[in-house]
Amino acid sequence: MWPTRKGIIALALGVATLSASAGEALTAYTEEWRPFNFMNESNEIDGFTTAIVRKIAADLDTKTDIQLVPWSRALEFTQRNKNSLIYSIYRVPERESLFKWVGPIYQVDTMLWGIQDRDLSIKNIEDAKIQDHRPGQQCVRYCAGESGVQQGQADPGLRPDRHQNGPAAAG
């Protein structure tokens, strides 16, 4: 069975930001996550969700300093600092009260894929977290932890005959 769930990538303001008024400077936090947000060859923060954030800020005549930081810092800074926002974040029940949600900016299906020849038995997100240490294990821990990824329902469009069974999820 292929558990999966559609995730909404959202733009969220820290609860401390509720006092921000039009024209005040904002700090936007995000992480490196291509193609949504990343550092380009010119050493500028780029990506299609970054373009959306810049456009909204321009339309609101709001100066916005975008900072690319590790994900755990983005979450911490947005919750702690006034006039801050975080983007390219999954909206999950555990985060609902942490932010004032501005709205969705993209919908995505997230899945974990494995090589069919490998002897992997992954039926849920817990199985993925306890595989022996290999490159990518950190990603699995991240995906199953702080990113908000959870096991969901199987996508009826998947072709199990063409893929090895395993978990797939998005928050």
Instruction: Report the chain's mean pLDDT, rounded to a whole number.
Output: 71
pLDDT above 60 for 161: no
Domain boundaries, the chain: 7-108
Using one digit for the tens of pLDDT, what is the confidence trace for 59-76? 888 899 999 999 999 999
CA distance between the termini of the chain: 18
- Residue 149 in contact with residue 95, Cβ under 8 Å? no
Q: What's the whole-model pTM score?
A: 0.62
Amino acid identity of residue 51, one-letter, is A
Pairing of strands 45-46, 38-39: antiparallel
Selected from 1.20.1290.10, 3.40.190.10, 2.60.40.10, 3.40.50.970, the CATH number assigned to the domain covering 7-108 reads 3.40.190.10
Q: How much is the pLDDT for 103?
A: 85
Which residues, including other chains, have CB under 8 Å from residue 6's CB and lie 6 or more apart?
107, 108, 109, 170
